[in-house]
Amino acid sequence: MEQIFTVTLPDIGEGVVEGEVIEWLKKIGEELKQDEPVVIVMTDKATVELPAPYPGKLAKMYIEPGQMATKGKALYDIEVAENVSTHKNLTQTKTALSKNPPLKKTPKEFPCEAKNVLAVPAIRKMARELGIDLNEVSSSGTHGQVTHEDIKLYLSQKSSSKSLPPTLALEDDKIEPLIGIRQAMAQKMTISKQMIPHFSYFEQVEATRLIKLRSKIKLEAARENIQVTFMPFFIKALSLTLKQFPLFNSSLDLSANSIRIHQSHNIGIAMSTKLGLIVAVLKNVNQMSLTEIIRAYEALKERAAHHKLTPNDMKDSTITISNFGVLGGGGLWATPIINYPEVGILALSKIQKHPIAKNGVVEIRDFLNLSWSFDHRVIDGDMAATFSNYYATLIQNPAPLL
Amino acid sequence: MQIKTLSYLNEQGVLSKECTTSISDEVLIKGYQTMVLTRHVDERMVTLQRQGSISFALSSFGEEACAVASAAALSLEDWMYPQYRELGVMFWRGFSINQYLHHMFGTKDDLILGRQMPNHFGSKALNVVPVSSPIGTKIPHAAGCAYAMKIQKEKTIAIAYFGDGATSEGDFHVGLNFAAVRKAPAIFFCRNNGYAISTPCTSQFASDGIYPKAIGYGIQAFRVDGNDFFAIYDVVSQAKKLCLENKGPILIEAMTYRMGAHSTSDDPSRYRLENEVKAWEKKCPIRRLRLYLISKKLWDESQEEAFLNKVKKEVDEAILLAKKTAKPPLHSLIEDVYFEIPPRLEEEYQEVKTLYETHE
Amino acid sequence: MPEMNIIQALNQTLHQQFAKNDRLVTFGEDAGSFGGVFRVTAGLHAAFGDDRCFDSPLSEQGIVGFGIGMAQKGLKTICEIQFADYIFPAYDQIVNEMAKMRYRTAGQYTSSLIIRTPYGGGIHGGHYHSQSPEAQFLSVPGLVVIVVSSPYDAKGLLTSAIQSNDPILFFEPKRLYRALKEEVPEEEYTIPIGKAHVPRTGKDVTLIGWGAQHHQNMEAAEKLFHEHHIDVEVINLRTLNPLDVPCLIASVQKTGRCVISHEAPRTCGFGAELSAIIQENCFLSLEAPVKRCCGLDTPFPHTLEHEYLPDAPRVIQSVLETVHY
């Protein structure tokens, strides 16, 4: 039985990859002696005769004269006699890849990859070993990287929350569970106070014209059976102030070393419910007129009263107002805790009458007390004063609110 | 300046009466057979390359006498530094066909473990320093080697072979100059074969060949017919004698012609004419020695046929053997870089080993 | 114990070894009866004859080529290249022949010669008497590269080099040839090739150097300790190839910070390879990037030589940067 051996175009020399077939020196079926020239091939280096590697018959030609033959690809077939042992040529033999391919090591699951955090290799190793997520660690390095001290601080904070100081347990204590909204509030307030360096700013503003304006609008709205409290005015004033000072409508992004200035004014309104303190959010106040705010606020209050607040009502606030004036009583000032991750909060007293010195004479006027808390990482004293002043001006002369 | 080209055996195989050197019959027959073997092996290697069995071949067609006759005039203890067109020296000194094929195929039985391209022959046992590709670099080595022989009081010489192109390299200049100044017993054998790949001698130097350069170094030179077995043998014998008499190094210029291509990567039809090549066919060194031997009844046609058949068969068998022989072991990749294998090479080897089969 | 400088240490070594081993030969430009321009081979010609210590023609290419042949034929050959700046004509012989001889002949032939050459700046030598070309030989497999930094080093390392079976580039800091004197034992001793020396241990920063630069590093380390309370570990490589990798790894894993200093220009200087090795092997220990304090990427200047060289003040600056990263 004959065997067919396919002769490929060999490497003629020094990187030549193809050659043009010039002339077949033998015909199909013709006998080939070993080493006898079979075909002439031309490359850009040389024109060469290619000799038969084995004796036999020329069985097939793959390339016509004038066409290009490619190194390693079939050129012609020889029908070789059975007793002739054949070997592949250099272009056909390749070193075999190992039967046991290199072990594909699955990348270790590092829960603390923290790719967006800057840290030297030694710190990353430490974090990995301690199971710390570097995203949760604030960084204070000169290049913005997490330092040894930052890790130490983080660990001490964690451990201090873990090993809580003992409470006061008296025998006849009545135990109430800290769950639900109360527990959420406890956690939120803790985080806020831990993460945010608060500072307070207080300002008293005359509300005489505001009272007049509200009375006027209240009368108009009553025709349509719509309640008008002072809150819509407070909200509108805040939004107008935020337009001037957008930095106060932001959140700090420590992992990216940046301040995210939000475009929408989503005003959070602290509300007291039977179950506890919640913050309902009026979205996109920047796009609303006073009238729209009045309606939206009433609707929000209604939903809150009937426990019909949606999840959307409860999230994405960018700044919060807490009106403790509605609680009644004579409270004047407060140091509200910022609703993390906002950068400012406004607590408002009831509008009350106070004496004031005017032209050397004591008069009684109506005043609104503004109690601000700000995040000192973003807001400084100067900015706070300016911001509050602008707001106060709007309260004092509320025509722009319309 | 008139330079005499020493020549004794003419194209018709007639030896001139001016030849004072006598060569024994054994040496002449062995010399002839070695030249025939060399040519046949060269032809077979080109074929192997065109079949894709070996990557490269470089032959010494037309220059067999330069290698064989010079080797015949020296002894085994003389060190040789070939360029690459002197295969005949290996066979003269006893290199087997099998050994040569193992080298051409780069098998595990290649003396240099497949580390270099084919035709980089050499063997310590035969005192032939293996070929390295850069041209001319061995010329100063031969000079230094010869110098070392002299101060160690050995009665041997070193010979460097090179072509006409090599004489343009700085190493030719420094090798001859150093050897001349230190009176090193070195023979600098130049095969002036007319071409350095495609570059003819007229583009290589403005001097009348290589011979006159010797004057610049203050050394003696000979110009000889490079296709004349007797003339080469004579001149090399004289050169060795002069070296051992501490007369300094000798430059030999052998006038010959490169009948074939530079190598299998070259096509000489692109830069020289057929009739030039044809003109040298009748000057063939093998032909004229055969005619001489036949005239002296030292050789005949039936011996010729028998010898050729024997040689062909040996080459056939050597090719089959080499094809069946395994590649050098993978670990040889990192051996012999230094006296001891450094740890980082073992690391690199492990990386490669994981990916590829070892060929044990 | 006698005190001597590097030249005297080398000269003494050569005399001792030449007397012991009659296969030792040395040559170079003016290295014969004149004794070499730096007098390292002084007296050898008179003591051992012209065959064994001679003037070579003015050709670095020839010196190395001729030397390779001598080494192949059994002579222990020491070639002198007058200034490292002039080694380049010999680059082909070094790279293509000397470095590959053992490998390309599968061990049948070796060319274990020693090429001695003064390198480095600090002597107002300008472009052509100040270069540190070691990196151009470190990227060539097959060459051993040694850099001397003191008289004690010089004798021990040259003796080891003479006993070695590998081809060696033996760099001598010309800046220190006569400037440094210390006690050197009379009797023969060796310093192992391939082992670094840690003359000063510390826990804050690893400072790596060789040759003349090593002394700048030691000076910097002293100042850093006393003025900045920074504890520097100083490593003197002594041999650049083969490199004492375990020593470097152990040190940087301990300190977490590393500064490498060398006179040669920064780009593709040996510091680059060392940085790669350190970051590969000590990655998780690093507290700061590996810092290179090197010659500038310019030809070696004459007038502004002091500003160019990474002397102690620049090393101190680099260490401070690294520590305060």
**HEC per residue, chain C:** CCEECHHHHHHHHHHHHHHHCCCEEEEECCCCCCCCCCCCCCCHHHHHCCCCEEECCCCHHHHHHHHHHHHHCCCEEEEECCCHHHCHHHHHHHHHHHCCHHHHCCCCCCCCCEEEEEECCCCCCHHHCCCCCCHHHHCCCCCEEEECCCHHHHHHHHHHHHHCCCCEEEEEEHHHCCCCCEECCCCCCCCCCCCCEEEECCCCEEEEECCHHHHHHHHHHHHHHHHHCCCEEEEECCEEECCCHHHHHHHHHHHCCEEEEEEEECCCCHHHHHHHHHHHHHHHHCCCCCEEEEECCCCCCCCCHHHHCCCHHHHHHHHHHHHCC
Check whether residue B111 and residue B260 sit in a common domain. yes
Q: Which domain holds residue B178?
A: 5-327
- CB–CB contact C54 B182 (8 Å): yes
> How far, in Å, CA of C120 to CA of C300, rounded?
10
Rg (CA), chain B: 21
Residues from chain A contacting residue B49 (CB–CB below 8 Å): 10, 13
Q: Which residue of chain C has the CA closest to A127?
A: C284
Q: What is the domain count for chain B?
A: 2
- CB–CB contact C69 B146 (8 Å): yes
Residues from chain A contacting residue B265 (CB–CB below 8 Å): 12-14, 45-46
Check whether residue B286 and residue B321 sit in a common domain. yes
Q: What is the pLDDT of residues B213-261, one digit of tens each?
A: 999 999 999 999 999 999 999 999 999 999 999 999 999 999 999 999 9
Considering only residues 93 to 112 of chain C, which have any Cβ-Cβ distance to chain A shorter than 8 Å? Answer: none
Among the partner-chain residues A121, A142, A143, the one whose CB lies closest to the CB of C286 is A121
- CB–CB contact B141 C65 (8 Å): yes
Check whether residue B55 and residue B25 sit in a common domain. yes
Domains C3-183 and C197-323 share a fold: yes
Tokens in use for C166?
């590998």
Q: Is A178 or C86 the better-scoring residue by pLDDT?
A: C86
Instruction: Tell which residue, A320, A328, A308, A325, has the closest CA to residue A372.
Output: A320
Exposure string for A190-228, b = 16+ CB within 10 A, e = fewer? eebeebbeeeebebebbbeebeebbeebeeebeeeeeeb
Residues from chain B contacting residue A89 (CB–CB below 8 Å): 51-53
Q: What is the pLDDT of residues A164-173, one digit of tens each?
A: 677 888 888 9
Domain ranges of chain A: 3-80, 198-401
Tokens in use for C63?
């010196």
**Coil vs helix vs strand at A280:** strand
Looking at the predicted structure, is the pLDDT value of residue A160 above 70? no
Check whether residue B279 and residue B356 sit in a common domain. no
Instruction: List, by residue number, the catalytic residues of C.
Output: 129
Is residue B66 a contact partner of residue B84, using CB atoms and an 8 Å limit? no
Interface test with B, best of C23, C56, C73, C100 (most B CBs within 10 A): C73
CATH of C3-183, one of 3.30.70.660, 3.30.70.20, 3.30.70.260, 3.40.50.970: 3.40.50.970
Cα B86 → chain centroid? 1
Domain ranges of chain C: 3-183, 197-323
Q: Is B262 marked active-site?
A: yes
Residues from chain A contacting residue C285 (CB–CB below 8 Å): 121-122, 125
Check whether residue B218 and residue B335 sit in a common domain. no
Domain over A3-80 is classified CATH 2.40.50.100:
yes
Does residue B259 sit at the C interface (CB-CB below 8 Å)?
A: no
Check whether residue B321 and residue B349 sit in a common domain. no
Check whether residue B189 and residue B296 sit in a common domain. yes
Q: What is the pLDDT of residues C104-154, one digit of tens each?
A: 999 999 999 999 999 999 999 999 999 999 999 999 999 999 999 999 999
Considering only residues 221 to 280 of chain A, which have any Cβ-Cβ distance to chain B shorter than 8 Å? Answer: none
Q: Which residue of chain A has the CA closest to C254?
A: A122
Alpha-carbon distances of B106 from B1, B221, B325, C282, rounded to whole Å: 48, 38, 9, 41
Kindly indicate whether the ipTM for this predicted assembly is greater than 0.90, answering yes or no: yes
Check whether residue B291 and residue B353 sit in a common domain. no
Task: Please tell me the CATH code under which domain A198-401 is placed.
Answer: 3.30.559.10
Looking at the predicted structure, is the pLDDT value of residue A112 above 50? no
Instruction: Tell which residue, C154, C149, C147, C142, has the closest CA to residue C184.
Output: C154
> How far, in Å, CA of B5 to CA of B256, rounded?
11
Give residue A46's pLDDT band: very low, low, confident or very high (50, 70, 90): confident
> How far, in Å, CA of B105 to CA of A339, rounded?
81
> How far, in Å, CA of B360 to CA of B67, rounded?
37
The overall average pLDDT reported for chain B is 96
Instruction: Tell which residue, C278, C256, C71, C48, has the closest CA to residue C167.
Output: C71
Cα B29 → chain centroid? 19
Check whether residue B146 and residue B198 sit in a common domain. yes
**CATH class of the domain defined by C197-323:** alpha beta
Does residue B119 sit at the A interface (CB-CB below 8 Å)?
A: no
Check whether residue B341 and residue B274 sit in a common domain. no
Does residue C320 sit at the A interface (CB-CB below 8 Å)?
A: no
Q: What is the pLDDT of residues C146-189, one digit of tens each?
A: 999 999 999 999 999 999 999 999 999 999 999 999 999 999 99
pLDDT, mean of residues C82-88: 97
Q: Which residue of chain C has the CA closest to B152?
A: C23
Check whether residue B297 and residue B352 sit in a common domain. no
Tokens in use for C134?
């070691």
Check whether residue B75 and residue B113 sit in a common domain. yes
- CB–CB contact A122 C285 (8 Å): yes
Looking at the predicted structure, is the pLDDT value of residue A275 above 80? no
Interface test with B, best of C58, C105, C163 (most B CBs within 10 A): C105
Q: Provide the shortest C-alpha distance from residue A151 to chain C (in Å).
A: 14
Q: Which residues of A touch C (CB under 8 A)?
A: 120-122, 124-125, 142-143
- CB–CB contact C287 A143 (8 Å): no
Considering only residues 211 to 270 of chain B, which have any Cβ-Cβ distance to chain A shorter than 8 Å? Answer: 261, 263-267, 269-270
Global confidence as pTM: 0.75
Give residue B359's pLDDT band: very low, low, confident or very high (50, 70, 90): very low
- Which residue among A133, A253, A316, A380 is the active-site one? A380
Residue A169 DSSP code:
-
Instruction: Tell which residue, C252, C262, C274, has the closest CA to residue C314.
Output: C262
Bridge partner residues of A260 (DSSP): A251
Instruction: Tell which residue, C156, C175, C172, has the closest CA to residue C164.
Output: C156
> How far, in Å, CA of C265 to CA of B300, rounded?
72
Residue A191, C-beta contacts closer than 8 angstroms, at least 6 positions apart: A340
- CB–CB contact A10 B52 (8 Å): yes
Tokens in use for C111?
């060319």
Q: Provide the shortest C-alpha distance from residue A135 to chain C (in Å).
A: 19
